Structure 1
Amino acid sequence: MKPKTNYTKSGDFNIAYQVIGEGSIDILYIPGWVSNIDMMWAEPRLAAFLTRLSLFSRLIIFDKRGTGLSDRSDEYSTMEERMDDINAVLDATNSKKAFLFSHSEGGSVSLLFSLNYPQKTIGVIGFGIFAKRRYSKDYPWAPTDEEREISNKAIEDNWAHGNLDGLKLLVPSLAHDSAFLDWLASYLRSGGSPKAALILHKQSVKIDVTGILGSIKVPTLLLFRKEDLDILVEEGRYLAEHIPNSQLVELNGKDHLFWTGDTYLILAEIEEFVTGIRPNKSEFQSTKQKSSKTGIDLGIVMSENFLYNLKVEEFAKLCGRSLSAFKRDFKNTFNTTPFRWLKAKRLEYAKTLLLESDLNVNQICYESGFKNNSHFIQSFKEKFKFTPNQYKSKSISKIHS
């Protein structure tokens, strides 16, 4: 079952986090580009991977500022602000010291944090991470400015509906699995709006930790798939060459996502690095099979994701059901159709925002999951007999009468 989502303050930003497991050693997972900690648990492979980590640790996961369930931002966040977010989550969970497990774009801040806060860092674990994201003669694996402009344009053109061909490059082992690719596209959209995704993508050009690598003192485990097309294994070799006390493990496979493909060796390397004990494969398979049998609660998934602008087919995938099974189970659970339930749920949320927030009607429309302001106002009036502004004025008058 998905763990409880909590919030902590980092400056003026609310940072969403979850804690899984009760181990004596803490692992803080720092995600890549965008994430959504609630939706992670709707993907069985990812849920099984995180569950396995929590069996030998206390696993802490969070959405960085600007993504997922954390507060959004229209501005670039600095590395210092991102380190502040990590500190805020560690403080909120009473974690004195933790392993930092990072993926892709999350790797640079984990390395920088370990240098600035060695007293809080037991070690760094990086899967498919990089030192910089702008081409130079001494780092030729990063994209050129021309290549970056092409990818920026692809995000602008395809984010709303998902560029499945682009996603296939991230996970070749599941390129044939349309259901997984649809979920991945939905997950990325829930992790960041088109504008937020583009801001974060452009921000990565500014990342360059090459100058600090030689000063890192904590043990570092680097995990790279040899045929990863997104972050090349040569980047892992560069990191291993420049970080003292680092260990590079090159794995077979092409997937840039750590939870797809053959995950046994990845989990085994992490567990041995953290605990000093390497699990045997039979133990791992037993845990994996047990995790995969866990059902996905339709009511929980819907109640926690109704604000996202997803199609009914996408909600079905989040709930681990075919469209027909989803509609059948939905009717049995809520005694109505998904469309009517979503509309009613969003309108109730909008009513709450009208009374308890300072947002204007246009802002409330989009915060409540509606796409069109006039449709929102019309739907609100049909349900509550007043327009949003009339309803708010009437409620305020009652309070002061």
Structure 2
Amino acid sequence: MKPITKYAKNKGINIAYQVVGEGKVDLIFVPGWVSNIDMMWIDSKIGDFLNQLTRFSRLILFDKRGTGLSDRVNPTCTLEERMDDILSVMHAVGSKKTVIFGHSEGGTIASLFAATYPELSISLITFGAFAKRKYSIDYPWAPKPEERKVFYDAIKKEWGNAQKIGLEWIMPSAANDKEYYNWFASYLRSSASPEAALALAVMNTESDITNILNTIKVPSLILHRKDDIDVKFEEAKYLAERISNSKLVELQGNDHCFWVGDSYSVLVEVEEFITGIRPVKKVSQLKNPTVKYLKIDIEETMLNNFQYNLTIEDFAKLCGLSLSVFKRNFSKQFSTTPFRWIKEKRLDYAKKLLLESDLNVNQICYESGFINNSHFIKSFKGKFKLSPNQFRIKHTND
């Protein structure tokens, strides 16, 4: 069962968050480039890892502004403003002090938070993090401008294509698992539109915390896989050399995403760092799978997930069925196709949000599961004979 998603506000920006577990120590996870905190729980790899964290912490998840369930980002937004979203979430959940765990770009933001608010930070953990994302003579591991341009072009032209946007760089151990690659591509699509993903990538490129690393005084754990293709191990060394009271742990593997490859080793280091006790059991002995692929109720699964940008194949997988069996059972149960059912549910949900929320049309588009605003408006008008704005005005005045 997915945790309840709530919202904190930072100067009018809505930041989606979840709280899971009742551990004595607060642990805020700052995700990388893009995320969707609801979708994380659908994948057993990510969900199981997060579940393990709740054994020894009160886990606080959030989508950074610009991604997932949070408001979209202003292109002029600063790294400091994005960092302060963490502060807003802490206030919302009543957290007075926390361990802050950042992955990839999230490690950059987490590091800045630890430097800026040491009184609120118990400790800092990073995985696959970097100090800057733009090549320089004194930081030669970061991508060069021409490399970033290729990446930007791929986002603009091929967003949602797992191969074209470089997933083989961030999770090479899953290179032969086409089904998982396709799922993760759908996760990315549900986390950001092409335009939003590009804006975040550009911001990512401009991130630079090299000048604040020596101001971080809280105990820090720097985790990095030795052969990470996306962010080089030398970048972890760079962080460790400049952050006092830090411990660098070299992990085996080449995956940039901690939940693929040997995720158990990551969990062991995190748990020992936070609790002081090194776990002796394996995750496989402890895990409580977040998705069970046996006798899954189709209607319940569809109702819980229709807002997400999932393919019909994704829904079939969630139900533990082959695509053909899923379509056949769905048609028998609902007397329509999955595509038409999903579209109707999304439009009805959009209607509800127009009447009951103060979200703007663009936000409602993404909240209800659409990824293209013009397609959403056209579909809404096709069903309700009014554009979303016209519908809201009419029923507000009634």
Give the TM-score of the pair, scaled to structure 1: 0.89
- Residue of structure 1 in register with 2:243 after alignment: 243
SS in 1 for 2:9: strand
Task: Go from structure 1 to structure 2 and tell me whether the alpha carbon gap of 1:394 and 1:119 turns closer, same or farther (over 3 Å shift).
Answer: closer
Deviations, residues 202-258 of structure 1 (Å, cap 9, x unaligned): 111221111111121001111111111001111111111111111111111111110
Give matches, 1:341-356, under 5 Å. 341-356=341-356
1:164 and 1:185 in contact (8 A); partners too: no
Counterpart position of 1:68: 68
Describe the shift of the 1:268–1:335 C-alpha distance in structure 2 as closer, same or farther (beyond 3 A). Answer: farther
- Following superposition, the deviation at residue 352 of structure 1 comes to 2.8
Change (3 A) 1:362 1:77: closer
Contact 1:123 1:218 in 2 (8 A): yes
Alpha-carbon offset, residue 323 of structure 1:
1.8
Residue number in structure 2 paired with 1:306? 306
What residue is the counterpart of 2:213 in the other structure? Answer: 213
Q: Secondary structure at the match of 1:133?
A: coil
Matches within 5 A, 1:91-170: 91-163=91-163, 166-170=166-170
Cα distance per residue 1:10-65 (max 9 Å; x no partner): 11111111111110011100000000000001100111000001111111100011
> SS of 1:291's equivalent?
coil
Q: In 2, distance between residues paired with 1:7 and 1:293?
A: 25
Q: Deviations over 1:152-198 (max 9, x none)?
A: 11111111444357212211111111111011101111111101110
Worse overlay, 165-174 or 51-60? 165-174
Contact 2:17 2:63 in 1 (8 A): yes
C-alpha spacing 1:19/1:163, structure 2 compared with 1 (3 Å): same
CA distance 1:261–1:361, shift in 2 (3 Å): closer
1:71-121 per-position Cα deviation (integer Å, ceiling 9, x unaligned)? 112424212211221011111111111111110001111111111111110
> What is the percentage of aligned positions where both structures have the same residue?
55
Cα 1:373–1:107 shift into 2, 3 Å: same
Rg larger in 1 or in 2?
A: 1
Question: Contact 1:183/1:317 (CA < 8 Å) preserved in 2?
Answer: no
Is there any run of 5+ residues in structure 2 with no aligned partner, and where? none
How many corresponding residue pairs? 392
Match of 1:84 in 2: 84
Q: SS of 1:69's equivalent?
A: coil
1:51 partner letter = N
Change in CA separation of 1:298 and 1:34 when aligned onto 2, cut-off 3 Å: farther
Q: Distance in 1 between matches of 2:279 and 2:40?
A: 24
Measure, in 1, the Cα distance between the counterparts of 2:24 and 2:315: 36
Matches within 5 A, 1:366-385: 368=368, 369=370, 371=375, 373-381=377-385
SS at match of 2:54: helix
Q: Helix, strand or coil: the match of 1:36?
A: coil
Deviation at 1:148? 1.2
Gaps of 5+ in 1: none
Structure 1 position 131, deviation (Å): 0.4
Aligned counterparts, 1:5-16, within 5 A = 5-16=5-16
SS of the residue corresponding to residue 87 of structure 1 reads: helix
Aligned counterpart, 2:271: 271
Contact 1:39–1:318 at 8 Å: present in 2 too? no
Contact 1:132 1:208 in 2 (8 A): yes
CA separation of 1:152 and 1:117: change in aligned 2, threshold 3 A: same
Separation of aligned partners in 1, 2:303 and 2:323: 18
Equivalent positions of 1:182-193 (< 5 A) are 182-193=182-193
**Which one-letter code corresponds to 1:232 in the other structure?**
K
Pair 1:23–1:201, CA change in 2 (3 A): same
Distance change in 2, residues 1:88/1:332 (3 Å): farther
